[in-house]
Chain A
Amino acid sequence: GAVVSQHPSRVICKSGTSVKIECRSLDFQATTMFWYRQFPKKSLMLMATSNEGSKATYEQGVEKDKFLINHASLTLSTLTVTSAHPEDSSFYICSAQPRDRGGNTGELFFGEGSRLTVL
């Protein structure tokens, strides 16, 4: 099956520092990846859509300068939380769709998530 891997799975950082989270599709190519944020006992909130070779599309209310997304290749997207603050503490999840499967009816494959704690 299609596997998506996120790294790191857990990260603790000091307020004001930047943290990078990687999302890799291990056995398929993904022209589009999606970044979600999940609050405790809440649903997944879509933050942005990451397109290989072009700028990410951010959802309303998500600060693009705060959450930098880079989709440098067909198997890697990164989310960088810049100048992190305690309110950025959350569970960040990426997902990807194989480029050759399903179109808009296809399923997305999800990473295991990355828990960020900002002290």
Chain B
Amino acid sequence: GNSVTQMEGPVTLSEEAFLTINCTYTATGYPSLFWYVQYPGEGLQLLLKATKADDKGSNKGFEATYRKETTSFHLEKGSVQVSDSAVYFCALRGPSAMGGGYNKLIFGAGTRLAVHP
């Protein structure tokens, strides 16, 4: 079945450091890929998405490129800020073996990022 694997945290960085959070996936067909973020005390929010191979999703300085050949969707940011401290979830929605309807959004385990001044 479909699954998502992302690097374990926590990731601790100093402000303005470069961030990479690795994410790889297993899926049948051609899934859509997402990064969601959960700030302390808040619900999940979509950070960015890519719906086909070689697409790059970007938002708030974060980027991720859909790499079909490596089945990856790594999240990057060139210069993190304290306000980026949160838990980041990689996720996919893919074709269902059952067909029809909206497909399930499958999450990775989440990576906690802590950015210090």
Q: Do A and B come from one complex?
A: yes
Residues of A within 8 A of B (CB): 4, 32, 34, 41-44, 46, 49, 51, 93, 95, 97, 103-105, 107-108, 110-113
Would B46 and A107 count as touching, CB distance under 8 A? yes
Interface majority SS (helix, strand, loop, mixed), chain A: mixed
On B, residues with C-beta under 8 Å from A are 32, 34, 36, 42-46, 49, 51, 89, 93, 95, 101-110, 112
Q: A49-B101, A105-B49 are in contact. List 18 more A-B contacts (CB 8 A).
A: A32-B101, A34-B105, A41-B110, A42-B109, A43-B109, A43-B110, A44-B44, A93-B43, A95-B44, A97-B102, A104-B103, A105-B32, A107-B49, A108-B105, A110-B36, A110-B43, A110-B44, A110-B45
Q: Is the interface of B mostly helix, strand, loop or mixed?
A: strand
When the two chains form their complex, are residues B104 and A93 in contact, meaning their CB atoms are under 8 A apart? Answer: no
Q: Are A46 and B51 in touch, CB under 8 angstroms?
A: no
Q: Quick check: A95 and B93 within 8 Å, CB to CB? A: no
Contact of A43 among B43, B89, B104 (CB under 8 A): B89
Q: Which residues of B contact A49 (CB under 8 A)?
A: 101-102, 104
C-alpha spacing A100/B53, complex, angstroms: 24
